């Protein structure tokens, strides 16, 4: 009877009075002892209030019941789909919203709705994955800053792929200890693209040279990443690089000359389909013809495979010399070995890349020497 009187009163009451009544009805439903018939009538009254033309009324109801696991689920779902100010209460704190509900809300709602979901106290992997697929920068920043969000490595990679060109997103990703290596490579690629697109760089550097600098910087970043990852991450990174077209001869040579043999072996395993143990054995102890056959089965042209064989033999020698600098020794010896030959095409490009690596290593060594000398003189 009380609820029936309430419904009659609502038809003529002012919006402010209806809002106060809606809040009181919601609190009474959750906190008062009611018979089953009264509870059903109260739930019907709250459902009726969902169609109230005043947002204040629906907001008051949302504030009263959104936090409780005992609230009517149908009412909560309707409030979660309301305009953002009202939905915020249900979306951010209602324990009644399942992962499926949240995924549906993310897919069908606005960017504000997705930000509200990203701000929930706990976010499961499926919900985080849905947000990573469709959310824009602000919602993703909210998700990455949320310590209660469980984000799968593949979702982090998806963020890096979609939004890695945003500096704030990139910085938050790089701060994570669980960021997979292939996602780090994508972020390095975004940085390279950004450098190429800088107006100052485009105005002062020839386009072909600018793209070469960008490519080599990206390769250097990947080689650096390859030296820091765990063995179980290597195959994933290698496959990502193969699919994206980054396992080029120049990149493979860069990795080999730098002594990133674990990664290099993983790349050769991927390209040849040979058993990992056999590839490692050939690289470490195989005779020249066996090493050359391995490289040619990986798709390297015969004239290039000769240089790779020589680099492999040089790597073996350099790895025995603890005082040597791997990159400098291998690159320098390669250049002395092949400089006398007239090189053209792919071979010339590969040797030019090796020479640039060698020069960069020499300059780095000189800078380190100058710093040590300056400290000793101080």
The DSSP symbol for 197 reads: T
Predicted pLDDT at 358: 78
DSSP string, 327-360: HHHHHHHHHHHHTTS---HHHHHHHHHHHHHHHH
Cα–Cα distance for residue pair 64/67, rounded to 1 Å: 8
Give residue-wise pLDDT tens across range 109-164.
899 999 999 999 999 999 999 999 999 999 999 999 999 999 999 999 999 999 99
Helices (H) and strands (E) in the chain, counts: 23, 0
The pTM of the full predicted model, rounded to 2 decimals, is 0.74
Give residue-wise pLDDT tens across range 197-239.
778 777 778 888 777 777 777 778 888 888 778 888 889 889 9
Cα–Cα distance for residue pair 67/93, rounded to 1 Å: 6
- CB neighbours of residue 29 within 10 Å: 23
Domain ranges for the chain: 180-241, 247-378
Task: Quote the crossing angle between the two packed helices 302-320 and 288-297, to the nearest 10°.
Answer: 130
Task: Quote the crossing angle between the two packed helices 249-257 and 345-377, to the nearest 10°.
Answer: 30
Q: What's the longest Cα–Cα distance across the chain?
A: 103
Give residue-wise pLDDT tens across range 337-374.
887 666 667 788 888 888 888 787 777 777 776 777 77
% residues pLDDT > 90 (the chain): 50
Residue 341's nearest CA partner among 310, 295, 314 is: 310
Bridge partners of residue 149, in order along the sequence: 123
**What average pLDDT is seen over the chain?**
87
The DSSP symbol for 70 reads: T
Predicted pLDDT at 378: 61
Q: Is the pLDDT reported for residue 256 higher than 90?
A: no
């Amino acid at each position: 009877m009380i609820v029936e009187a309430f419904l009659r009163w609502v038809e003529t009451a002012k919006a402010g009075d209806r809002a106060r009544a809606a809040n009181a009805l919601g609190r009474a439903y959750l906190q008062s002892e009611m018979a089953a018939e009264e509870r059903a009538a109260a739930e019907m009254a709250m459902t009726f209030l969902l169609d109230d033309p005043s947002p204040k009324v629906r907001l008051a109801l949302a504030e009263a019941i959104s936090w409780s696991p005992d609230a009517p689920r149908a009412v909560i779902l309707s409030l979660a789909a309301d305009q953002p100010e009202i939905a915020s209460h249900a979306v951010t704190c209602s324990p009644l919203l399942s992962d499926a509900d949240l995924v549906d809300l993310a897919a069908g709602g606005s960017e504000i709705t997705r930000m509200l979901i990203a701000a929930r106290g706990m976010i499961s992997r499926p919900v985080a994955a849905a947000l990573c697929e469709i959310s824009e920068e602000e919602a993703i920043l909210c998700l990455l800053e949320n310590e209660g969000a469980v984000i799968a490595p593949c979702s982090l990679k998806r963020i890096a792929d979609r939004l890695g060109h945003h500096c704030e997103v990139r910085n938050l990703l790089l701060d994570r200890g669980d960021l997979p290596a292939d996602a780090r490579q994508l972020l390095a690629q975004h940085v390279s693209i950004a450098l190429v697109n800088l107006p100052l760089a485009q105005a002062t550097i020839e386009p072909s040279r600018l793209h070469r600098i960008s490519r080599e910087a990206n390769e250097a970043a990947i080689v650096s990443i390859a030296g820091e990852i765990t063995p179980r991450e290597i195959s994933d990174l290698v496959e990502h690089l193969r699919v994206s077209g980054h396992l080029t001869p120049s990149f493979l040579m860069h990795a080999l000359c730098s002594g990133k043999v674990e990664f290099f072996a993983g790349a050769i395993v991927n390209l040849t389909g040979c058993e990992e143990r056999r590839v490692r054995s050939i690289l470490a102890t195989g005779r020249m013809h066996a090493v050359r056959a391995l490289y040619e089965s990986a798709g390297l042209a015969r004239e290039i495979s000769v240089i790779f064989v020589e680099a492999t033999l040089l790597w073996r020698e350099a790895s025995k010399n603890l005082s040597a600098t791997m990159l400098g020794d291998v690159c320098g010896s390669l250049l002395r070995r092949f400089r006398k030959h007239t090189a053209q095409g792919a071979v010339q490009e590969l040797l030019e890349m090796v020479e640039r690596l060698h020069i960069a290593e020499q300059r780095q060594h000189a800078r380190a020497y100058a710093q040590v000398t300056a400290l000793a003189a101080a």
